[in-house]
Amino acid sequence: MPLNRRTFLGRSAATSAGVALAGASASAAAAETRGHQGPSGRQKRYAFTVMGTTDLHGNVFNWDYFTDAEFDDAAHNDVGLAKISTLVDQVRAEKGRRNTLLIDAGDTIQGTQLSYYYAKVDPITGSGGPVHPMARAMNAIGYDAAALGNHEFNYGIPVLRKFEEQCDFPLLGANALDAKTLRPAFAPYWMTRLRTPFGRDVKVAVLGLTNPGIAIWDKANVQGKMTFPGLEEQAAKWVPRLRSMGADVVIVSAHSGTSGTSSYGDQVPYVENAAALVAEKVAGIDAILVGHAHVEIPESRVVNKETGREVVLSEPLKWGQRLTLFDIEVAWERGRWQVASVSAKVLNSNAVEEDPRIVRLLDAEHKKVVGYVNQVIGSCSAAMTAAEAPYKDAPIIDFINHVQSETVKAALAGTAYADLPVLSQASCFSRTAAIPAGEVTIRQVAGLYPFENTLEARVLTGAQLKEYLEFSARYYVQTPAGGDVDPAKLTNASGTPDYNYDAVGGLTYEIDIAKAPGSRIVGLSFDGKPIDEKAQFVLAVNNYRASGGGNFPHVASAKQVWANSEEIRNTIIAWVQAKGTIDVSRFGSVDWKLTREGVRPPHS
C-alpha cells in the first residue's frame, strides 16, 4: 500500500507502493522496461518518465460551471482530469506503465462548483458522505503522490483529512508540521522502486513541499494546529535523508512558484515562490515539479550553487491544461545508478478527447452539480458584466461592495464601531462574470466570487486608505497623456493579476495613470468632502487581503473588529435569496475613474 500519514512514522518509505513492482516476473518486467547499453557496450542505462500536474482546482471535466458551458478561452485551452487521463494513458502506452510515475503539486480540492459542492453542500465529511470527485478521478487515473497546496486548507482540516483518507496515494507536505510536536503532519515524501532489465532497481523519491503562506491565508483553519516553515529549510533537511536512504533520483513536488517573491511581505519569514531558490541552494535534487503560480514553464534549468549541477524545473499550466513530462535517464556508475540526463516538456490537453472512463465514473456527480448551480434564486433589474471592470467602475463590482458593506454594517450594529463609516474592497476575479437582467441563478452569482474567501472588518485611517489605493493603482501601466488608450494594454502592470487590484466602494477618487505609481490617487473624497487623513473607517475586506495576500499596506496590521467563516460567495447568494431582487439603481454609480493629467482617456 502507498505510504501515507498513518504509515509514515511506523515504517520505511522504501516499503511503499513501488516495492510491489519487484515481485513481478522478470519476463513481464523486461517486456515493459526500457534499458540500453552505452557506446562502449558495457554501461547500463535506464530511462523513465515522471508525469506531473498542478493547480487542478477541482477540474474533472472540460466544463465551466459558472457559464454552464464547455470551457474555452482565447487560446482554446481545455481543462480537467478527464483530458489529463487520456494524455497519461498515451504516455504510459509509449513508455511502458512501469517506466512512469504520476505526481501532482497541489491545489486540488478547491476552485470549481464541483469541488465546492462536495465540501459544503453534500460534504465528504458527513455521515456516510460521498467520496470526493477529485479523489475518485485521481485514484482511477493512478496518481502516485501529490503535494499539498495552500487551497487544500480552505475548507478546514477535517475536510482535508477526509480527502486524504479517500486518496489511494499520499498527500505530501514536508513543511506542514504539527504545531505542538513540530513533527510532520503529513507524509514528507514517497519512495518507490522502478525495475530495470539489469537486476538493479532505481529508487525514486518524491519530496512534497507546500506554501508557507497557508499560515496567513488560512489562519482561521490552521492557527495553533499546524505550522509551515520555509521550503528551503525543509528541503535541506529531507533531501540528504532521502539520499542516505538510498534514493538514486530525488524529485521535489513544490507548491511554490519560481519568482523568489512573496505576496505577503514580511509577515512570515519564508518566501512564497521559492522553487528556484530550493533548486539553487539545496544539493541533491534532480527535478522540481512547480506549482502555485499558475504559469506555464515547459522547462527551466537552475544551477545548484554547491554542486554546479543543473536542476530541471517544470510547471504545467493550471486546471489540467498541461501535463509535464520529466524524461530521466540514469547510468550505472561506480556501483550505483547516477542521473545522466533530465529534460522536461509539457503536453497540451486540448489535443486529446476526455477519457470516457473518467466521464462515466463521475457523470452523476457532474449532473448533480449542474442542477444545483442552475437553481434560480432571484432577479436583477439590469444586466451587469465584468468585461470592463478592470479599468472602469462597473456596477457588478459595486454590487459586491454593496453586499459586503451592508453585511458588515449589520454585524457592527450595537457595537463600539457602529458609528464608523463602512467602506468595502472588491476585485474583478473573472472578466467573464455576468449577471443578466431577469432571473438569476446560483452559478451566475457564484461566478462573481470563484474563491472561497471569507469576510472581515478592519479599521483604517483616511491616510492609510489613500496609501492602500495608491498601492492598488500600481496595477495600471503608466500611460502618458494624449492619444487613444488600448484597454488590453492598460492593466496588469508588472504582472499584477486582476485579483490584486482593488476598487474601494464608499469613496470617490481618480487614478491618474500618467503619473508614476505611488502618486496617482487624486481627489480622494468621502461623503462629498476631501477625506480626513485622521478619520477612522471600517473596511469590509476579504480574508486573503486582510491576511496579507497581495501585500497591500496597513490592512494586515489593522485592528480587526469583526470576522466570520462564511464564504463571501455564499453571503452574496444568501443576500439575493433574501432580497429577491438586485436593484442596480441602488448601488450602480461611477465613484472612481481613470484620468491622464486630469483628462479621462478615450475608451476608458
Hey, which residues does 503 pair with through a beta bridge?
426
Question: Do residues 211 and 272 touch, judged by C-beta distance below 8 A?
Answer: yes
Share of the chain above pLDDT 70, in %: 92
Residue 331's nearest CA partner among 592, 21, 36, 579 is 36
Tell me the CA distances in angstroms from 374 to 80, 110, 112, 568, one per residue in order. 21, 20, 14, 19
Region 504-521: what's the mean pLDDT?
A: 97
| Mean pLDDT across 497-504 | 97
pLDDT tens, residue by residue, 133-172: 999 999 999 999 999 999 999 999 999 999 999 999 999 9
Helices 133-141 and 81-95, packing angle to 10 deg: 10
Contact 285, 305 (CB under 8 A): no
Share of the chain above pLDDT 90, in %: 83
Q: Which three cell numbers stand for residue 359?
A: 466521464
pLDDT tens across 530-580, in order? Answer: 999 999 999 999 999 998 889 999 999 999 998 887 889 989 999 999 999
Q: Which is nearest to 175 in space by CA: 245, 281, 252? A: 252
Could you give the strand order of the β-sheet that contains 559-567, starting from the edge strand earlier in sequence?
503-505, 422-426, 536-542, 454-461, 559-567
- CA gap 3, 8 in Å, rounded: 6
Q: What is the pLDDT of residue 11?
A: 34
Going 158 to 163 to 164 to 165, the CA torsion angle's sign is positive
What sign for the dihedral angle of Cα 327, 323, 81, 356? Answer: negative
Interstrand relation of 171-172 and 145-147 (parallel, antiparallel or unpaired): parallel
Q: Say how far apart CA 4 and CA 171 lie, in whole Å.
A: 7
The reported pLDDT for the residue numbered 217 is 85
Average pLDDT estimate for 270-277 = 96
C-alpha cell at 306: 554547491
Report the length, in residues, of the chain: 604
Please name every residue paired with 103 in a beta bridge, in sequence order, or none if there are none: 52, 145
Whole-number Å distance between alpha carbons of 284 and 430: 41
Q: What is the dihedral of CA 16, 20, 23, 24, to 10 degrees?
A: -150
CA–CA separation, 182 vs 285, rounded Å? 24
User: pLDDT at residue 473 above 60?
Assistant: yes
Among the listed residues 491, 476, 458, 477, the one whose alpha carbon sits nearest the alpha carbon of residue 558: 458
> How many alpha carbons lie under 13 Å from residue 225 in its C-beta half-sphere?
13
Task: Determine the Cα–Cα distance for residues 504 and 523; give it in Å rounded to an integer.
Answer: 14
Q: Kindly report the average pLDDT of the chain as a whole number.
A: 91
For residue range 229-273, list pLDDT tens digits in order.
999 999 999 999 999 999 999 999 999 999 998 888 777 899 999
This prediction has a pTM of 0.81
Number of Cα atoms under 13 Å in the Cβ half of residue 557: 12
User: Which of the pair, 331 or 41, is modelled with greater confidence?
Assistant: 331
Report d(CA 46, CA 99) in Å as an integer.
9
**Cβ-based neighbours of 110, under 8 Å, separated by 6 or more:** 57, 58, 116, 119, 151, 152, 154, 155, 452
pLDDT digits (tens, 9 = 90+) for 173-200: 999 999 999 999 999 999 999 999 998 9
**Alpha-carbon gap, residue 376 to 381, rounded angstroms:** 15
Inform me whether the pLDDT recorded for 219 exceeds 90: no
pLDDT of residue 314: 98
* Residue 397 grid coordinates: 463590482
Sign, CA torsion 503/509/515/519: negative
Distance CA 113, CA 316 (A): 22
Contact 254, 105 (CB under 8 A): yes
Q: How many CA atoms lie within 13 A of 353 on its CB side?
A: 4
Rounded Cα distance, 311 and 276, in Å: 9
The answer to whether residue 44 scores a pLDDT higher than 70 is yes
> What is the gyration radius of the CA atoms in the chain, in angstroms?
26
